[in-house]
Copies of this chain bind each other. A is one copy, B any other.
Amino acid sequence: MAAKATIKDVARLAEVSPSTVSRALRDNPRISEEVRQRVRKVAKALDFHPNQMARSLVKQETRIVGVLFAESAAASMGHPFYPAVLQGLGKVAGERRYHMLLSTGVENMSEEAAMRDLADSGYASGLICLSTLTTPAQSTGSITLPMVEIGHPLDPENSYYVDNDNLRAGYEATKYLLNCGHRRILFLGYDKRFMMMENRLKGFKQAMAEFGAPVMDDWIVPSRMIENVPDFAHLGEIFQADQHPTAVVSMDDPLSIGLNGFLLTLGLCVPGDVSIISFNNTQAGQYHSPALTSVDVHPRELGMHAMSLLLNIISGAVEKPTHINVPFTLIERDSVAPIAAE
């Protein structure tokens, strides 16, 4: 009773050979119904569970997939986007009886190193990589595991990945403001480390051009994701000027909320004086007043699709580099208003 029961224990008690036990438990048709029953009963009685390590060893596969976060998993978890992705990943992993192994980023470990670590550990049969950076692991080449990325990969032609159409998202968000009559629009939260930002900015410019609205470099203001601290001094100058922006496209809800607070100190109201359209549709944004109009990129779906794809690759159902595009949704709330007559 003390030690865990092994297949041999079951075999002995059921008076068959270990191989028969193995087959019986896996419903191999070569085992008679009678023996199958007997084996099952004994297995249950002993609370026998096959040792996965032994199993994995001989089958040369595990039921584990590694999950790797771009920033050290640690840092990134602060933002609701990542937990939501994880939630999606977990849902389909669970359904297909897979486990997820987290890359527990040792502090200051590079993304690539973490990836190698996970791959080399031999525990995982595949990799999910949230490498949304523009300069991810260069030498991903020698990694032999099946891998799917969430976000835009460096080499789209040869990668499996799931993503939003961020160009389109940037375009639609901007167009929404333009349609409300805004022309002086600021782009907040540009972080050139993230590929998606490039694309959203591209969409922004495209929409602006289409409506003949001017794009000023000065009005593309950076802010690191996650930390979400824009350059308030700079923003102060911009918004205290006479011809200040009447609307902003903000890359993230927390950022928008911060901006809103800042504008308040300047005596500017949202959406009365400045409209904000935001991204990520977080809980905080919903509860905020005014409730934020925000683009939901559906992180949970991103996760679900990524995991499905990976598992299908592992099982051999998918062979060619595949790209899945998860649609976004623009959710209208109260932070955008038609431009006030001047």
Contacts and interface: CB of A to CB of B under 8 A. Distances in A.
A261 interface: yes
A49 B102 contact: no
A179 interface: no
B95 A106 contact: yes
A144 B86 CA distance: 28
Copies in the complex: 2
Contacts of A254: 283-284, 287
Interface residues of A, number: 60
A223 interface: no
B90 A104 contact: yes
B289 A261 contact: yes
Contacts of A73: 86-87, 90
A169 interface: no
Contacts of A99: 101-104, 118, 121, 123
A211 to B, nearest CB: 31
Interface stretch (A38-46, A56-64, A156-164, A191-199): A56-64
A107 interface: yes
A52 interface: yes
A62 B57 contact: no
A264 interface: yes
A91 interface: yes
Contact of A54 (B57, B62, B258, B261): B57
Given A64-B101, A101-B64, A283 B78 contact: yes
19 contacts: A53-B56, A53-B123, A57-B57, A74-B87, A77-B83, A77-B84, A78-B83, A78-B87, A90-B104, A91-B107, A93-B104, A99-B103, A99-B104, A254-B284, A261-B289, A283-B284, A284-B284, A284-B287, A288-B288
In the A-B complex, the 9 residue pairs with the smallest Cβ-Cβ separation, listed nearest first, are: A284-B284, A77-B83, A94-B104, A90-B104, A94-B106, A257-B287, A49-B120, A52-B122, A93-B104
